[in-house]
């Protein structure tokens, strides 16, 4: 059994008020916040980097008595992901998700991430077959199946990625499996049924009249 984890993406927040948005999400009972780091090379967009994450960590400090609380899930859409591991760790990242497509030695990168005290996760873009993750899975804290082309929020969910999630869930009943892109009220049933338990949601949570209710709604669907 894995537990439901809802991770609102701050990409859909107000970049002039990210600290407030981060607080607001945790107050709305988000399990994690999802931080989309884009470098303009791996994806055609630029967002935030270590200085912003470090400021966010100061605004939302860890609670030493409750490890894992105020968890920063860093989705690294960057070329050369090895380069940023120490800085993201220092900035206060809790998990480092690199893209399989961006590295030549994923196992060495997982080791580096763990040596830097973070959890390690690997993402696959829509065009990448899921079986590339099989040799890595036993070393990973999470696998991310992208349900849009990485780069922008507000895109449509690709339901044809669900066989990847199903395959992973069948093989790895205890692995955290994340889906990212286009998740909301209409698409959560399909993703949850396929076996995803970590749900990233940007637009649907931030545009909801009541974000807390949306987070709870998403959580209530995860059954794995």
Catalytic residue among 21, 31, 39, 180: 180
- How far apart are alpha carbons 105 and 9 in whole angstroms? 28
Sheet holding 142-146, edge to edge: 5-8, 198-201, 176-180, 142-146, 119-124, 95-99, 71-77, 32-38
- Confirm whether 63 is a catalytic residue: no
- Whichever of 31 and 36 has its CB closer to Zn ion, that residue is 36
Cα 21 to Cα 3, 35, 70: the distances in Å are 24, 12, 13
Residue 128 engages ligand DX5 in binding (rule: CB under 6 A) = no
Residue showing the smallest CB distance to Zn ion in the complex: 75
C-beta of residue 135 within 8 angstroms of C-beta of residue 168: no
CA-wise closest residue to 73 among 93, 57, 91, 89: 93
19 is in an annotated binding site: no
- Cβ neighbours for 106, distance < 8 A, ≥ 6 positions apart: 98, 100, 122, 136
From 54, 155, 158, 221, residue interacting with ligand DX5 (rule: CB under 6 A): 155
Catalytic (active site) residue 180 = yes
Between CA 151 and CA 155 the distance in angstroms is 10
Min. distance of Cβ 205 from ligand DX5 in angstroms? 8
154 binds ligand DX5 (CB under 6 A): yes
Contact 153, 203 (CB under 8 A): yes
Binding partner of 126, given ligand DX5, Zn ion, none, CB within 5-8 angstroms per partner class: none
- Choose the contact partner of 197 out of Zn ion, ligand DX5, none; CB within 5 to 8 A by kind: none
Q: Which of 36, 39, 73, 94 is catalytic?
A: 36
- Residues labelled as active-site residues: 36, 180
Binding-site residues sit at: 9, 34, 36, 75, 151-154, 180, 182, 202-203
Name the residues that contact ligand DX5, by CB under 6 A: 9, 11-12, 34, 36, 75, 148, 150-155, 180-183, 200-204
Q: Which residues contribute to the annotated binding site for a divalent metal cation?
A: 34, 36, 75, 180
- Catalog residues that contact Zn ion under the rule CB under 5 A: 36, 75, 180
């Amino acid at each position: 059994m894995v537990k439901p984890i809802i991770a609102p993406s701050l990409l859909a927040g107000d970049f002039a008020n990210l600290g407030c948005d981060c607080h607001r999400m945790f107050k709305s009972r988000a399990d994690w916040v999802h931080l989309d780091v884009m470098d303009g090379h791996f994806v055609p967009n630029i967002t935030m980097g270590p200085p912003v994450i470090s400021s966010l960590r100061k605004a939302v400090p860890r609670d030493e008595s409750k490890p894992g609380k105020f968890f920063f899930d860093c989705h690294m859409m960057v070329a050369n992901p090895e380069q940023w591991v120490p800085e993201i760790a220092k900035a206060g990242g809790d998990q480092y998700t690199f893209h399989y497509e961006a590295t030549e030695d994923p196992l060495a990168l997982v080791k580096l991430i763990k040596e830097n005290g973070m959890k390690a996760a690997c993402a696959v873009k829509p065009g990448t077959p899921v079986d590339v993750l099989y040799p890595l899975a036993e070393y990973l804290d999470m696998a991310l199946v992208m349900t849009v082309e990485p780069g922008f929020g507000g895109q449509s969910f690709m339901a044809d990625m669900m066989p990847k999630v199903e395959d992973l869930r069948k093989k790895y009943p205890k692995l955290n499996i994340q889906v990212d892109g286009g998740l909301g009220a209409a698409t959560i049933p399909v993703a949850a049924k396929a076996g995803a338990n970590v749900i990233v949601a940007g637009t649907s949570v931030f545009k909801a009249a009541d974000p807390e209710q949306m987070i709870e709604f998403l959580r209530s669907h995860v059954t794995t």
